């Protein structure tokens, strides 16, 4: 086994054990950020020891024992500790008499503690970026370097983000708290937002040159499954999982051999992952059973489900999609949702109906500089045979597009509209 | 990456109650950790059948099958970052058998799915 292999094998074990390590230590220490520090120390100890000794038979128990020793050291070192900590130290001393075994390790009911951990990592007091970094580190067991590579940022940026976030939690007295009842649903939205941010960060990377970017999608999906398992009565958790599963089902079909993106209507649907679609549909069904049909994520999942269920692009139920967009627009009042509704209306009822929606959006300040607005408008004008106006719209869109591929595509469409104008 | 774990053994008897309980806890943890997508145990060979195509002919054999040396006792589907995680997970599962069902011997085979996951 090479050093790199050994390192990867250790991280693999680590990812399995880490949430339980943090939750157990957090419960003892009543401090999530501190628990996280100590489990990181246990990881470093494993990385130091295991390449020489081999991975122990019960790696989880080894890591747990090591982390607990560190916790004890920490408590002994700090003379300013409150009495609470003395009691904790006592309990732990007693516990150290017996080596923790696998069975007791499995006995911990991870559900409630894990929920607390997720809620702490995704606290609304923290920025979305800080929440994403903390969640990937504390719940998914990614290292700082891995998170940095995944977000295409320097290691130091992520490390600093994590340190600051943990300090904010400690200083605001949020190191260990349990949301209950109503608060769970409220706080959940701050968690779902972060999970979706992680998913999109991985999903919008068209090509996975670095395996860690697509890996973000997988981690987000896993977090989605975790949430539906430990908060099974929250429809939006199921809705987000459905949305992610259904979007991820198209991964293999989304790019051609050269890595160019393929739009949903042009994709080879045989490449869509049916197992994943089925799971997405199940999650969507569950969300609706729970009375969540009108939720933000559930509606978005419902829209993607219309695509997933159409055998060919021509079978797409556009009026249903337009209906879901109308409901979504009522929930979020976003001009971008309205623009998407226009596209669906255009497919369902024809370009004229869509154009009147788009024209109403033209003065919208939030869409100023958004290339998809003139791009959609150009497409509708072209379909209506108003080629000269279409050309102008595509030119305007091309000037706004930030991405070279999109820019080139819009210039080609402008040229095609100009040709059509000449020959008409 | 998606993996299928296939557990094979020559043992025909049911797992000990301790092993059952431990496997149940492990499965519960893996579901709550979002890693295990599906799992199931399989009934003894007597409840199954084989449909064989050989020499251009279809034939049906009802179980139990005398030639079967190792039978599939159960399966699970996992979504994991890579093979290292799959190996770590399978080792943990087999360690439970070692600890809680002395004398049991078998194989946990892990195979990556052909269609890439997300």
Reported as a single tens digit per residue, the pLDDT across B71-97 is 888 999 999 988 999 999 999 999 999
- A86-120 as b/e: b if 16+ CB within 10 A: eebbeebeeeeeeebebeebbebebbebbbbbbbb
Residues A236, A297 contacting (CB under 8 angstroms): yes
* Mean pLDDT value across residues A352-360: 96
Are B22 and A230 a contacting pair at CB < 8 A? no
Q: What pairing do the DSSP bridges indicate for beta strands B36-41 and B106-112? A: unpaired
Q: What is the pLDDT of residue B104?
A: 92
Instruction: Parse chain A into domains and list their residue ranges.
Output: 1-108, 109-173+188-231, 238-313, 317-367, 369-424
Q: What pLDDT, in 10s, does the model give residues A133-168?
A: 999 999 888 889 888 888 888 999 999 999 999 999
Query: Are A16 and B85 a contacting pair at CB < 8 A?
Result: yes
Q: Output the CA–CA distances (angstroms, integers) from residue A228 to A18, A180, A183, A283, B106, in the order listed.
A: 20, 17, 17, 9, 34
Task: For chain A, say whether B22 makes contact (Cβ under 8 Å).
Answer: yes
Between A412 and A406, residue with greater pLDDT: A412
Residue A212, min C-alpha distance to chain B (Å): 9
Report the pLDDT averaged over residues B3-14: 88
Q: What pTM did the predictor assign?
A: 0.82
**pLDDT of amino acid A95:** 55
Residue by residue, DSSP assigns A320-376 as HHHHHHHHHHHHH--HHHHHHHHHHHHHHH-HHHHHHHHHHHTT-GGGTT-THHHHH
Q: Report domain extents, chain B.
A: 2-42+70-112
User: Is the predicted pLDDT of residue A324 greater than 90, yes or no?
Assistant: yes
For chain A, give the number of residues. 424
Which of A81, A217, A191 lies closest to B79 in space, CA to CA? A217
Q: Which chain A residue has the Cα nearest residue B88?
A: A13
pLDDT, average across residues A318-336: 94
> What's the confidence (pLDDT) of residue A94?
58
Task: Report chain B residues whose CB lies below 8 A from the CB of A58.
Answer: 95
CA distance A243 to chain B (A): 13
Identify whether the C-beta of residue A391 lies closer than 8 Å to the C-beta of residue A374.
no
pLDDT of residue A9: 84
Average pLDDT, chain B: 89
For residue A41 the two structure tokens come to 């120390």
Q: Name which of B33, B85, B88 is nearest A226 (Cβ-Cβ).
A: B33
Which of A101 and B19 is assigned the larger pLDDT? B19
pLDDT score at A235: 96
Residues of chain B in contact with residue A222, where contact means CB-CB under 8 angstroms, are: 33-35, 79
Q: Does a cis peptide bond (omega within 30 degrees of 0) precede residue B64? A: yes
Are the beta carbons of A204 and A151 closer than 8 angstroms?
no
Name the residue facing B115 among A222, A273, A279 (closest C-beta). Answer: A273
- From chain B, the residues in CB contact with A230 under 8 A are 32
Residue A407 has pLDDT above 60, yes or no: yes
Q: What is the pLDDT of residues A72-82, one digit of tens each?
A: 888 777 655 55
Domain A109-173+188-231 sits in CATH at 1.10.10.10
Interface check B118 vs A, CB under 8 A: yes
B49 contacts chain A (CB < 8 A): no
- Helices A182-203 and A235-248 sit at what angle, rounded to 10 degrees? 10
Residue A70 pLDDT greater than 50, yes or no: yes
Q: What is the pLDDT averaged over residues A409-424?
A: 92
Q: What is the pLDDT of residue A239?
A: 98
What's the confidence (pLDDT) of residue A403?
75
How distant is the Cα of A63 from the closest Cα of chain B, in angstroms? 14
List of chain A residues whose C-beta atoms are within 8 Å of the C-beta of residue B16: none
pLDDT at A90: 62
pLDDT over 90 percentage in chain A: 53
Q: Is the dihedral of CA A267, A270, A276, A279 positive or negative?
A: positive
Cβ-nearest to A222 among B26, B34, B115: B34
User: ipTM of the predicted structure?
Assistant: 0.73
- Whether chain B has a CB inside 8 Å of the CB on A222: the answer is yes
Architecture of the CATH domain B2-42+70-112: 2-Layer Sandwich (3.30)
Per-residue confidence band for A100, with pLDDT thresholds at 50, 70 and 90: very low
Write down the pLDDT at residue A96.
Answer: 52
pLDDT value, residue B117: 42
Using an 8 Å CB-CB cutoff, list chain B residues near A20: 29
CA distance B46 to A98: 45
Q: Residue A104: is its pLDDT beyond 50?
A: no
Q: Which of B26, B95, B116 sits opposite A252 (nearest CB)?
A: B116
Question: Is the separation of the CB atoms in B36 and B30 below 8 Å?
Answer: yes
**pLDDT of the residue at A161:** 95
Instruction: Give the span between the Cα atoms of A371 and A336, in whole angstroms.
Output: 11
pLDDT band at residue A99, thresholds of 50, 70 and 90? Answer: very low
A263 has a pLDDT exceeding 60: yes
Q: Give the pLDDT band of residue A105 (cuts 50, 70, 90).
A: very low
Q: What is the pLDDT of residue A85?
A: 59
Minimum-distance CB partner of B79 among A57, A103, A222 = A222
Would an 8 Å CB–CB cutoff place B88 in contact with chain A? yes
What pLDDT sits at residue A1? 61
Nearest-by-CA chain B residue for A211: B81
- Cα separation of the two ends of chain A: 70
Percentage of chain A lying above the pLDDT 70 cut:
90
Under a CB-based contact definition with an 8 Å cutoff, are residues A237 and A192 in contact?
A: yes
Q: How confident is the model at residue A187 (pLDDT cuts 50, 70, 90)?
A: confident
Answer whether B34 touches A (CB < 8 Å). Answer: yes
For A323, residues 6+ apart whose C-beta sits below 8 A from its C-beta are none
CA distance B3 to B80: 7
Which of the four pLDDT bands, split at 50, 70 and 90, describes residue A101? very low
pLDDT digits (tens, 9 = 90+) for A24-68: 898 888 889 999 999 999 999 999 999 888 888 888 899 999 999
How far are the Cα atoms of A133, A209, B84 from residue A152, in angstroms, in the given order? 13, 12, 24
């Amino acid at each position: 086994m090479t050093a790199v292999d050994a390192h990867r094998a250790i991280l693999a074990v680590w990812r399995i054990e880490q949430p339980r390590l943090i939750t157990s230590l957090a419960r003892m220490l009543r401090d999530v950020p501190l628990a996280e520090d100590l489990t990181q120390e246990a990881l470093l100890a494993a990385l130091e020891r295991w390449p020489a000794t081999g991975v122990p038979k019960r790696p989880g128990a080894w890591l747990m024992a090591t982390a607990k020793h560190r916790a004890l050291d920490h408590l002994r070192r700090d003379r300013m500790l409150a009495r609470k900590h003395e009691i904790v130290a006592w309990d732990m001393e007693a516990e150290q008499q017996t080596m923790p075994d696998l069975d007791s390790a499995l006995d911990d009911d991870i559900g409630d503690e894990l929920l607390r951990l997720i809620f702490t990592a995704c606290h609304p007091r923290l920025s979305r970026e800080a929440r994403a970094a903390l969640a990937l580190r504390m719940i998914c067991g990614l290292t700082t370097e891995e998170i940095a590579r995944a977000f295409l940022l320097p290691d130091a940026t992520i490390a600093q983000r994590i340190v600051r976030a943990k300090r904010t939690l400690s200083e605001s007295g949020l190191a260990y708290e349990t949301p209950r009842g109503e608060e769970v649903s409220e706080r959940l939205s701050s968690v779902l937002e972060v999970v979706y941010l992680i998913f999109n960060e991985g999903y919008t990377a068209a090509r996975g040159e670095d395996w860690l970017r697509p890996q973000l999608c997988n981690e987000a999906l896993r977090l989605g499954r975790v949430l539906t398992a430990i908060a099974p009565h929250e429809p939006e958790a199921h809705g987000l999982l459905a949305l992610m599963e259904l979007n991820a089902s198209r991964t293999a079909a989304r790019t051609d051999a050269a890595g160019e993106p393929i739009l949903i209507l042009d994709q080879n649907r045989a490449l869509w992952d049916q197992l994943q679609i089925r799971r997405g549909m199940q999650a969507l069904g569950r969300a609706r059973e729970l009375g969540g049909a009108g939720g933000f994520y559930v509606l978005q999942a419902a829209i993607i489900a219309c695509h997933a269920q159409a055998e060919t692009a021509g079978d797409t139920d556009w009026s249903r999609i337009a209906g879901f967009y109308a409901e979504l627009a009522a929930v979020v009042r976003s001009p971008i949702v309205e623009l998407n509704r226009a596209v669906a209306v255009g497919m369902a009822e024809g370009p004229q109906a869509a154009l009147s929606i788009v024209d109403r959006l033209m003065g919208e300040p939030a869409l100023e500089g958004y290339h998809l607005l003139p791009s959609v408008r150009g497409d509708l004008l072209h379909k209506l045979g108003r080629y000269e106006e279409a050309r102008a719209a595509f030119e305007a869109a091309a000037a706004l597009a930030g991405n070279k591929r999109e820019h080139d595509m819009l210039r080609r469409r402008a040229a095609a509209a100009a040709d059509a104008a000449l020959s008409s | 990456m998606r993996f299928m774990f296939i557990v094979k053994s020559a043992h025909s008897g049911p797992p000990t109650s301790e092993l059952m309980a431990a496997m149940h806890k492990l499965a519960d943890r893996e579901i709550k950790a979002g890693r295990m997508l599906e799992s199931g145990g399989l009934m003894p060979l007597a409840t199954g059948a084989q449909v064989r195509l050989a020499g251009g002919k279809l034939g049906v054999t009802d179980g139990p099958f005398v030639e079967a040396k190792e039978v599939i006792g159960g399966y699970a589907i996992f979504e994991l970052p890579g093979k290292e995680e799959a190996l770590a997970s399978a080792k943990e599962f087999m360690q439970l058998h070692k600890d809680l069902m002395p004398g049991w011997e078998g194989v946990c085979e892990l195979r990556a799915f052909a269609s890439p996951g997300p």
